[in-house]
Structure formats: C-alpha cells, structure tokens
Chain A
Amino acid sequence: MKDIKIHVNDLSLYYGEKKALKEISMQIPANKVTALIGPSGCGKSTFLRCINRMNDLIPDVKITGEMLVEGVDIYDKNVDVVNIRKKIGMVFQKSNPFPKSIYENIAYGPKINGIKNKTELDEIVETSLRKAAIWDEIKDRLDDSALGLSGGQQQRLCIARTLAVSPDIILMDEPASALDPISTSKIEELVHELKEQYTIIIVTHNMQQAARTSDYTAFFYLGELIEMGKTNAIFTKPEQKQTEDYITGRFG
C-alpha cells in the first residue's frame, strides 16, 4: 500500500449516546477501489458519510479521532466543509436526481462552481454522461425531466452528476442495490474504468460485487473494523473467523 489517499486514525462516532463507530483505523489507497462490507447496521454508511462530512447534517453527532485526506484533517476547524465535498463526491444508495432536466442535473455542480460558459458546460455534460456510460441512451432527451428515466439510468445519471464536479474521491453507498443485473453490471464496469482517475470507496452487500469490483476490502462488524486487506486475500484466506463466517454466509 504505497500510495495512501486517506488515513483514518482512531475514528469514533456517536449518535447521541450511542457509539456507532468504534476506534476505526485504516488506510485507503489512492486510485483503487475499496469495498466496505458487513452486516446491516454495522456502520458502513456511517463511516462512508464521515469521509465527506455528510454526518454534519445530523444533529447530536459527535466525532473523535482523525480523518486525514492527503494529510489534511478534514475535521479541523479551519477546513471548509463545502470545499471538502467538492473534492469528495458521493453517490447515494437511492438514486436522487434533482427534479430538473437531465442537462440541468449534470450542469448544476459546475454551475455552482462558477462555470457559466455554455459551450464549456455542454462539454462537461457530455463527457460526464459518456463516462457514466449513459450518453448514448439519453443524448436526445437532455431537456427532459430526469425523473422520467428508469431507476438504473437515474443512478448512472447521479454518478455522472458526481463526476461533473471532477472530485478526487468518489464514495458510493450501495449504488446498485435497487438495480437489475444489467444495470448493475454496467455500474460495475463503470467503477472499474473510473478507478484510473479516482479513488473509489464502495459499500456493498453483494459479496460477488465486492470480489469483482474492488482491490481492497474492509469488513465491519458492530461498528468495528474487523479486518482490511487485498480483496483476494480477504475472500480466500481471511485472518479473522468473523470475516470468514460472514463471507461464507455462515453468519449468526
């Protein structure tokens, strides 16, 4: 693990009194896909949302420990959360395109970053949609409402929207959980292509998906990081008994 993008040191998170993340320490490599797996309620989403400070929106959340992105602690008082999120994009479990046209959905991010030039915007919209492998399907209906797209198309649109602001890191929370196999495989291919340019962290419940798409895998259980390593290693000879039980489906 030579090129580390994110260092997490002793990160704990409390929802009120409840400790949802317990002293997590891990390193996330740059330009690789890292999968987060674990049973429901173990804190995968919570951890993912820590990385772009989405948990700031929830009242009564307390975070201790360090989250260093390229050496900068993003929870430092002098760090602007808006700039963090520009660099760390997020794709949500449930696709959530804005109730705007397809074009406006993609152009929104660049626009709020101050890009006004129409040709420049057009270009960003096209490249983002192409990267998200949806351009050919919707290039003729850019002015239609994004809500008229199918679920799979909407999710790829959301990915394109995230790409349009050209982040460094992309967080994906079960991006394919509500999609059919064809859309799912498209998104998996996409993840594979995107890792050339981006650092990707993906939460998934699907073991095959984790095995297929990721380079590294982290296993969470009850708010703790049990084990993290190369995906191959985790899936073939995990060090911890709990990991093995979970991966093989013998989980109680």
Chain B
Amino acid sequence: MNSEFPNKQNFTKESLKKQFRLSEFLAEKIISSVAFLSIAIIVLIFVFVFKESLPIFNFGTSEKAKTEMEAAPDSGAKPESYGSEPTEELKPETYGSEPVANEELKPETYGSEPVTNEDLKPETYGSEPVTNEDLKPETYGDVKAEPTVAASSDEMKEVVGSNNEGADKTWSTFFTTEWVPVSEHPRFGLIALLIGTLKVTIIAMLIAGPIAILAAIYTSCFASKRAKEIIKPIIEMLAAFPSVVIGFFALMVLATFFQDVFGYESRLNAFIGGVAMALAAIPIIYTISEDALSAIPKTFTEASLALGASKWQTAFFVILPAATPGIFAALLLGVGRVFGETMIALMATGNAALLSANPFESVRTFAATIGSEMAETVFGETHYSVLFFIGSLLFIFSFALNAVAEFYVKGKLIKKFQGK
C-alpha cells in the first residue's frame, strides 16, 4: 500500500476489505440513468404520437366527445385556440393557455397566462370549411378572413361535429385511394400515400444500394491507400449534407435534367424524389458498408488470393459475403433514412397523392404528408389525428422492418453465406 513496504502482510482481512469506490459508483449510475432516459424518451415519443391519433379509434366515445364539445360554452372558437376547452381528450395538446388541472401535462404547455379567446384569434390557421378538393394542403394562405367570431364559431361547430361523427367512417376511408383531408366529406385514403412512399423508397434504394455498396467495395478492396484516404472522408462529409439542400438541388437541377432526358410529363415525381433521396442515403449506406467490409480480417483476403483467386473474386465471393450482416444493417439504415425523409419528399416528389405504378408520376409520401399538413390542421380534429396515426405508422414500419431484419432475414442470410 505505501512505498516503503513496512509489512509484507498484504493478504490481511483489512487490506482485502470490500471498498466503496464512489466515483465509479456515481459514473455507473449516471451512465445507466442516461441510457434508460434515452430509451424512455423514445418510448414516450411513440406513446405521444400514438396517443394523438387515438380519437380515430374512438368508435364508442366519439358521440360523447361531440356532445361534450358542443356543450361547452365557447366550443365554437375552440379549434382556433390551441387547447382551451375542458375536454379530457384534448388536454395533452394544450400549447399553453388555460390553467389546466392535470399537473403531469404541464411540461407541454408552452405558455402560461389564462388567455381569452380574443387573444388567440390571431393564430387562426384557416379553420373554416374550405372546400379545396384539389389536394392543395400546402396552401398556407388562401383563407378568407372571418368577419365575426360568431360566424366562424358556428361553422367550426359543424365541421368538428361532422368530423367526429365520421370517426368510424375514417377507418373505412383508410383503405381507399383518395387522400382528401380538407373537404366536407374528408377522405383519408392511405393506400395512395403508402404506394407513394413505397415507390419512392424502392426507387431510392435501387439507386443508392448498388452505388453505395459498389463504392464501398471499391474503396475497401481495390483502391490504393491514398485514394481511400481521400474518397472516404469526402463521401462521409456528404452524409452531413442538409436534406433541404439536396431537395433544392433536385428541384432545380435534377428535375429539369431528367425531364429533358426522359421527357415525361410531371416535372416533380417519384423518380426525382427517389434520385434525390438516394443522394441522401448513399453516404450512410456507403460509410457503414465500408466499415463492415474493412473490418473483414486481411487473413481471408490472403487465404483467397493464395488459392489463386483474383482480386475481383476475392472481393465478391469472400469479403462481401463475410460482411453481409454489416451491409444489411447499412441498407436498413438507408431505408429508414429514405422512409422518413420529409424535406426532400416535399420538394421533389410533386406531392400529389396519385395511385399509379408509373415511376414518373407525382407521389406523396407519408412523411411529406405530415410535414406539409400538420401546420394547418385543427387540433383534435380527425385530420389531425390521422396525421398522427400516419406518424405512428412510420414508427411501426421502421420498427417492424428492423425486427424482421434482425430476427429473420439476417439469420437466414448469415446461414446462407457463412454456414450454420
């Protein structure tokens, strides 16, 4: 214990006594609580998103909700004021006005003073029953100003009423192909959005997957050390490229270029969206594939070359199969990126929920739908809930994708390429 070794009796009960290491203990606790916190936050985000979509599942209570809303004295102005009504269902969205009773929701309140309806009016986002059937949810400003509070109130009451009445109908419209959220008879056909999302994802992955993986194989197996040192950081830098810039590039440059090449009709379409998203996904897929390929021990390369295999054969028959799990993970991350990409989808896909197999038609993706319409929905309205439902769907899809990949495909792939 001390430098002079006064007694050699090191193995006494005293010296071997259990020690309490405070700093290690604290560090361990902090690390684990941060880890748990982050897991909890992810779960909470999902719970929040899903909870907002709950009203569309409310078959039995929709009637009650409606009456409750109508019974409230100032129900008419409700949709404009972000959560000032006393209904239970709507409380979580309160963005900060009324003195709410439930304490646990407080953190979400964004303001404090008990504002009146008049104060909130400037926030009206156009809640009157506009009859734009023509899929123009992006229009932020074509609302006719309301002359009086009363008029808007009355109209809103009708809308809210009819929407809630249609709650059970909302379900049946999910499986139709029309996405007409803002109308007297709103239809929330998710099929067109689903097909649109899949179309863009598939196009993007068909472009990004091969390019990124081939580039990764090139850098890890063929490129000289110097070329690798230059190429890798550059592509990795692209991963941090803001998607709005890529979207802009697609909108201004790619769209025109490809229209000239292919001569299709709509300038912005699934193909352009796919190409732009491939640009966003390539660096991710490349980086992770390259790491996976470079992590394959050099001894495999040597063994293969010593058997008289060419570099090419070694890369494709030994290194690539050995790196399958990593490359698979890379592709999954790419899919996740494309699937949830909002800005590029908004800017480059044309945003029309058309149902067609043609890759050169405009499409609208789930993420873009949320991104473009969330700002103009009315809190608590069916449209609002449906958007959150789509959000949950995105969550569930990527979760399911990863789960399937993890437990099924990956195991099979590994077995196929690497023996049992």
Return the contact of A161 from the options B299, B307, B418 (Cβ within 8 A).
B307
Instruction: Say which one of B270-278, B287-295, B313-321, B371-379 lies at the interface with A.
Output: B313-321
Q: Which residues on the B side are within 8 Å of A111 (C-beta)?
A: 317
In the complex, whether B149 has a CB less than 8 A from a CB of chain A is no
Task: Give the distance to chain A from B400, nearest Cβ to Cβ, in Å.
Answer: 29
Does the CB pair B300–A99 fall under 8 Å? Answer: yes
Task: Give the distance to chain B from A183, nearest Cβ to Cβ, in Å.
Answer: 19
Instruction: Say which one of A20-28, A143-151, A174-182, A238-246 lies at the interface with B.
Output: A143-151
Q: Which of A132-167 contact B (CB under 8 A)?
A: 143-148, 158, 161-162, 165
In the complex, whether B279 has a CB less than 8 A from a CB of chain A is no
Question: Which of B297, B309, B322 gathers the greatest number of chain A CB atoms within 10 Å?
Answer: B309
Does the CB pair A96–B303 fall under 8 Å? Answer: yes
Q: Which residues on the B side are within 8 Å of A109 (C-beta)?
A: 307-309
Does the CB pair A101–B418 fall under 8 Å? Answer: yes
* Contact pattern, A 69-111, Cβ under 8 Å of B = 1, otherwise 0: 0000000000000110111011010101111111010001101
Q: Which residues on the A side are within 8 Å of B419 (C-beta)?
A: 99-102, 104, 143-148
Does the CB pair A165–B308 fall under 8 Å? Answer: yes
Given A108-B317, A145-B418: A85 in contact with B307 (beta carbons within 8 A): yes
* Contact pattern, B 300-314, Cβ under 8 Å of A = 1, otherwise 0: 111111111110010
Q: Taking CB as reference atom, which chain A residue is nearest B307?
A: A109
Q: Which residues on the A side are within 8 Å of B308 (C-beta)?
A: 82-83, 85-87, 109, 112-113, 165
Q: Taking CB as reference atom, which chain B residue is nearest A161?
A: B307
Given A101-B420, A144-B420, A145-B420: A94 in contact with B299 (beta carbons within 8 A): yes
Rounded to whole angstroms, the CA-CA distance of A92 and B318 in the bound complex is 17
* Contact pattern, B 211-229, Cβ under 8 Å of A = 1, otherwise 0: 0000000000000010000
Instruction: Say which one of A51-59, A194-202, A211-219, A227-235 lies at the interface with B.
Output: A51-59
Task: Give the distance to chain B from A122, nearest Cβ to Cβ, in Å.
Answer: 16
Q: Which residues on the B side are within 8 Å of A143 (C-beta)?
A: 419-420
Given A100-B321, A145-B418: A90 in contact with B306 (beta carbons within 8 A): yes
Given A99-B322, A144-B419, A145-B419: A162 in contact with B307 (beta carbons within 8 A): yes
Task: Give the distance to chain A from B418, nearest Cβ to Cβ, in Å.
Answer: 5
In the complex, whether B417 has a CB less than 8 A from a CB of chain A is yes
Q: Which residues on the A side are within 8 Å of B301 (C-beta)?
A: 57
Rounded to whole angstroms, the CA-CA distance of A57 and B318 in the bound complex is 17
Q: Which residues on the A side are within 8 Å of B309 (C-beta)?
A: 82, 108-109, 112
Rounded to whole angstroms, the CA-CA distance of A57 and B300 in the bound complex is 13
Task: Give the distance to chain A from B61, nearest Cβ to Cβ, in Å.
Answer: 56
Return the contact of B302 from the options A92, A101, A144 (Cβ within 8 A).
A92
Q: Which residues on the A side are within 8 Å of B299 (C-beta)?
A: 92, 94, 96
Rounded to whole angstroms, the CA-CA distance of A90 and B308 in the bound complex is 10
Does the CB pair A54–B304 fall under 8 Å? Answer: no
Q: Which of B162-219 contact A (CB under 8 A)?
A: none
Q: Could you list 12 A-B pairs, sorted by A, with CB under 8 Å? A: A57-B305, A87-B308, A96-B302, A100-B417, A101-B419, A109-B308, A112-B313, A144-B419, A144-B420, A145-B420, A161-B307, A165-B307
Extra inter-chain contacts (15) besides given A92-B299, A147-B418, CB under 8 Å: A54-B305, A85-B306, A89-B306, A90-B306, A96-B302, A97-B303, A99-B300, A99-B322, A100-B417, A108-B307, A108-B309, A109-B309, A112-B307, A143-B419, A162-B306
